Structure 1
């Protein structure tokens, strides 16, 4: 061994020789901790990249499958479903309250306006009708935003997973699986089939329904949603750089009906504001999105025999402004509240209210004493919230129905 090598080895040994009270071992421990932290970061990044790659591969594989591999799903969503959707949207959206819909909420700001109504059903959750208007937005952009499931997982923290299961290019039907999480509840699993149509004037219709699929067996860790019927229409507002989406939605996800109504009325405007913010950030070019690539292959032309019904049912801009907006509504009165604007006391109160509501109402068979206690708790909490909210002195645009 050369003298130079001996000097190097000797210097390396000095690195671990205790110079004081545990100095050498402290250095070794620090290096070991840094190594573990670095490996942990690499492991997390590798797992995340692997998960994204598997999701994209699973979504892309059915899209390039032959039409024969899609046998059995072409009849899940038909033109009869579209015909029923067109008729329902025309009647319901023209004058919801005259058709028996109860108002839930009506709010707007400079970028987005939202109106929602509900209709009771005989023995299940209510149906919802909503009309959302986005300023400075095209119908194509709004369609891509709504159909981009990969992007939805970036801004919607309730959606934890989405994967394409199968598609049929001949019929335009696509089947997918989505998992959503809710506070203190078992995650909900959605197996859905949908289909999109495009009209000559760049309006778009979509119908979605629940289904079953062999690639999505039932798992005990999820609650399979047993009923979901949803449809929407996106159309441009004449004379304005704005578009409007009208949605009919009926869902039974196993949640207590009263809790679901409470969560909707109290949280939907914040969700609409969050959705609007995500829409404004939405990239113009989403060529890498599997959902958009698949939709472009599967989208179908609107049937010609339904065009007269569509033209008859579509309300004129004058009717939309006089019937959709309640007469007591004042324009531009609600703004999207940004995170961090509430005081800590309000945040704690809202959190306790949410936890109490979920715990007491998530059980559909609660005894009478628990229901009475919950009613008193909610009454007191809402009274405190109204008294502490300065916006109540200026009047709310929020309209919750008193009929249960």
Structure 2
């Protein structure tokens, strides 16, 4: 507000000083206008200070009353352990991800797109043990939507599922992942909520608070859907950018006729990037990332998984696909 007033007031001040030059060359003169303008300037400065003080100080007080822990979380480097009082209620967490989300994922994976969606190829690469294909759709007033298919040779469905869902091991090989923390698991629905921080080159790291759920179909394939959510203890931190839209899902199934499995993924997120810049970065960097993932998968398959964490998670609480979704999958087989 002060800056706006200063910009508006500057032409008046300039005119005032030009008019005060004494024609006789005796320098600046003081007239009756001088005192009037000086008084006006002083009054405006006082008003600005008063407005600033009134606007500035009540805000933290309001934030403190509504969100008592907002300030400590904004300044801390990590989140505290989740207590029962800070967790989502059992009723609420079971509604974060629904059967409708699974149905929409099945439709997307089977390419039941809207008529106005125009898809274009982005990349198609392969090696002896790996292949990757991706295309994207630019939607109006929405971030890019990606559909990809990755095939891993000599790999079981269960191994690929466990690898994808093992966030502790992901921190070993995925250097973009700074932090991951499990926040809550609902044993009745199988929904897990967690937080992660990811690096973005030359940009502020992005912060994600996500919920995900895993299902198993009758044909032995697995589905997973992940979306953004709010969580009481996961207050926003100033040094990170919170991603407000994140929708991602995949299906892992065996490739018919050979020892291989594929993961088909649909992904859409708004990380605050320019659409064309995001598209270019994806096209240039995704293949190297997939190759690193393949190397990590081969390493993961040699580990003694009995020694790995046995904490309750979405993987240990996998739900069976039922009802309409099961009927759709059976029809598509």
Give the TM-score of the pair, scaled to structure 1: 0.58
Residue 212 (structure 2) pairs with residue 194 (structure 1): yes
Question: CA separation of 1:217/1:129 partners in 2, compared to 1, >3 Å: closer, same or farther?
Answer: same
Secondary structure (helix, strand or coil) at the match of 2:92 reads coil
Partner Cα distance (1:226, 1:199) in 2: 30
Written as runs of structure 1 = structure 2, the 5 A alignment for 1:280-319 is 280-282=298-300, 283-290=302-309, 293-314=312-333
Q: Could you list the per-position Cα deviations for residues 33-69 of structure 1 after superposition, in whole angstroms to 9, with x for gaps in the alignment?
A: xxxxxxxxxxxxxxxxxxxxx99x959x88xx9x996
Q: Could you list the per-position Cα deviations for residues 111-148 of structure 1 after superposition, in whole angstroms to 9, with x for gaps in the alignment?
A: 11000000111023210000000000000000000000
Match of residue 123 from structure 2: 105
> What 5-or-longer segments of structure 2 have no aligned partner?
1-77
Is the radius of gyration larger for structure 1 or structure 2? 2
Contact 1:231–1:247, Cα closer than 8 Å, also in 2: yes
Question: CA separation of 1:155/1:58 partners in 2, compared to 1, >3 Å: closer, same or farther?
Answer: farther
Residue 238 (structure 2) pairs with residue 250 (structure 1): no
Question: CA separation of 1:196/1:229 partners in 2, compared to 1, >3 Å: closer, same or farther?
Answer: same
Greater share of helix: 1
Contact 2:117–2:139, Cα closer than 8 Å, also in 1: no
Residue 73 (structure 2) pairs with residue 73 (structure 1): no
Contact 2:194–2:209, Cα closer than 8 Å, also in 1: yes
Match of residue 137 from structure 2: 119
Match of residue 149 from structure 1: 167
Q: How many residues align?
A: 254
Partner Cα distance (1:138, 1:247) in 2: 17
Match of residue 241 from structure 1: 259
Q: Could you list the per-position Cα deviations for residues 317-373 of structure 1 after superposition, in whole angstroms to 9, with x for gaps in the alignment?
A: xxxxxxxxxxxxxxxxxxxxxxxxxxxxxxxxxxxxxxxxxxxxxxxxxxxxxxxxx
Question: CA separation of 1:215/1:71 partners in 2, compared to 1, >3 Å: closer, same or farther?
Answer: farther
Question: CA separation of 1:186/1:295 partners in 2, compared to 1, >3 Å: closer, same or farther?
Answer: same
Contact 2:143–2:268, Cα closer than 8 Å, also in 1: yes
Match of residue 106 from structure 2: 86
Instruction: Compute the displacement of 1:236 (Å).
Output: 0.4
From 278, 282, 286, the equivalent of 2:296 is 278
Contact 2:191–2:314, Cα closer than 8 Å, also in 1: no
Residue 184 (structure 2) pairs with residue 169 (structure 1): no
Contact 2:117–2:137, Cα closer than 8 Å, also in 1: no
Partner Cα distance (1:102, 1:145) in 2: 29
Contact 1:159–1:179, Cα closer than 8 Å, also in 2: yes
Q: Could you list the per-position Cα deviations for residues 200-238 of structure 1 after superposition, in whole angstroms to 9, with x for gaps in the alignment?
A: 232100010001101100110110001011110000011
Written as runs of structure 1 = structure 2, the 5 A alignment for 1:4-19 is none
Q: Could you list the per-position Cα deviations for residues 140-183 of structure 1 after superposition, in whole angstroms to 9, with x for gaps in the alignment?
A: 00000000000000000000100011111111111000000122
Partner Cα distance (2:95, 2:263) in 1: 26
Match of residue 231 from structure 1: 249
Question: CA separation of 1:131/1:200 partners in 2, compared to 1, >3 Å: closer, same or farther?
Answer: same
Match of residue 135 from structure 1: 153
From 197, 207, 214, the equivalent of 2:232 is 214
Give the TM-score of the pair, scaled to structure 2: 0.70
